[in-house]
């Protein structure tokens, strides 16, 4: 374990601690944290099999937590996290079915005006190479005042679209 970075070691330690806590605490918040830790470890892993295993565990945790969610805000947060997870599955596998699943989670919630849902919809449409829908979500997010151009500029999913006129015009308009 000496070859692991200190941040990876800390993630693994926190994962073990939260898994231990889960034996007594089956809260939605703990399930969401356990899923995030697995997603973070999957992102750090160099092995596709390990990534898929961790993401699969995270999916089970989030789907079970969604079944227990009784507050609308909690449901929206968990749905955004689950969509993020399926977008991560897509990045690992490049299988279109993961984009479809993310879309099935997000599209019924698209009128919620919840920032996390809008952000995931932007990512979904960018990964699905749908420039018109991507443009819609970029404009909506920038217009909300909650997202800056810098945050969008850092979004890897928008890199393939950087040459499009509408994106360059928005960059000129919102970049300060």
pLDDT (tens, 9 = 90+) of the chain, 176 residues, equals 446 678 889 989 999 899 998 999 889 999 999 999 999 999 999 999 999 999 999 999 999 999 999 999 999 999 999 999 999 999 999 999 999 999 999 999 999 989 999 999 999 999 999 999 999 999 999 999 999 999 998 999 999 999 999 999 999 998 76
Separation between Cα atoms, residue 126 and residue 120, nearest integer Å: 10
For residue 107, which of 97, 95, 117 has the smallest C-alpha distance? 117
Contact 85, 58 (CB under 8 A): yes
The C-alpha angle 83, 141, 120, rounded to 5 degrees, equals 5
Give the DSSP H or E segment for 156: none
Radius of gyration for the chain, computed over Cα atoms and rounded to the nearest angstrom: 17
The pTM of the full predicted model, rounded to 2 decimals, is 0.91
Residue 122: the pLDDT is: 97
């Amino acid at each position: 374990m000496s070859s692991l970075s200190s941040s990876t070691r800390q993630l693994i330690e926190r994962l073990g601690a939260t898994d231990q806590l889960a034996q007594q605490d089956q809260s939605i918040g703990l399930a969401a944290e356990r899923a995030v830790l697995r997603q973070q470890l999957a992102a750090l892993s160099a092995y596709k099999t390990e990534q898929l295993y961790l993401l699969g565990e995270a999916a089970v945790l989030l789907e079970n937590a969604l079944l227990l969610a009784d507050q609308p805000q909690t449901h929206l947060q968990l749905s955004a996290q689950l969509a993020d997870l399926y977008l991560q599955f897509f990045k690992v596998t490049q299988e279109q079915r993961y984009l479809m699943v993310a879309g099935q989670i997000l599209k019924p919630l698209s009128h919620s005006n919840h920032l996390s849902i809008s952000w995931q919809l932007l990512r979904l449409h960018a990964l699905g190479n749908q420039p018109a829908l991507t443009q819609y979500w970029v404009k909506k997010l920038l217009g909300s005042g909650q997202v800056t151009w810098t945050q969008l500029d850092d979004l890897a999913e928008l890199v393939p679209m950087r040459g499009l006129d509408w994106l360059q015009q928005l960059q000129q308009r919102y970049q300060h």
